[in-house]
Amino acid sequence: MKLILASRSPRRRELLGRMGLEFTVVTPQIDEDAFTAPDPAALVSLLSREKAMAVAGTCPEALVIAADTVVVLDGAVLGKPRDQAEAQEMLAALSGRSHEVYTGVTVCRGGRAVTGAERTEVTFRALTPEEIRRYVATGEPMDKAGAYGIQGLGSLLVEGIRGDYFNVVGLPVCRLGRMLADFGVDCLAAAAGE
């Protein structure tokens, strides 16, 4: 069965590869800003579904996986920073506080689609303005929701998490494994070469 990851994220590509699956990557063509939802879980679920369906429409025989991740602080969604100044503002707001990371994931094939959302709580240690400036100067925050990457230098900012670590990276691997099993894909069997 052909497996497609509908994402341009190198982090999702890496995580899916670690699951022992062979797949191709197709970038979905949707305008993410055109969608709204009543809460973060509904938003990421909707966006992951739209991404999956956009790609599934061009490859109906394939099993398509799509995901979307947002960082939420005090109910406000923090997207990718537009510039270094906005990245510094986001990190200053996250400093010394807890926030939530939501990832929606959709698996679809043919006319069947299954969507779920995962939530993880992340706590930042208190950051000095100089630490924020230096982290932003690395460039790492610029293409990441909430202006940090927990799998990179951003790990130096995170004091703790409650929930799925991989969800914060951008793909809730445990949930995805269960979803794929519903479509007849056994990730452990694939990794074992069975």
Which are the catalytic amino acids?
Answer: 68
- Copy the structure tokens of residue 95: 């400093």
How far is residue 133's CA from residue 65's CA, in Å, rounded to a whole number?
36
Query: In the beta sheet, which residues pair with residue 104?
Result: 68, 117
Helix (H, G, I), strand (E, B) or coil at 5: strand
Identify which of 158, 115, 140, 193 has the alpha carbon closest to the alpha carbon of residue 11: 140
How far is residue 107's CA from residue 190's CA, in Å, rounded to a whole number?
17
- 65: region left, alpha or beta (phi > 0 left; psi from -120 to 50 alpha): beta
Per the CB < 8 A criterion, the answer to whether 90 and 147 are in contact is yes
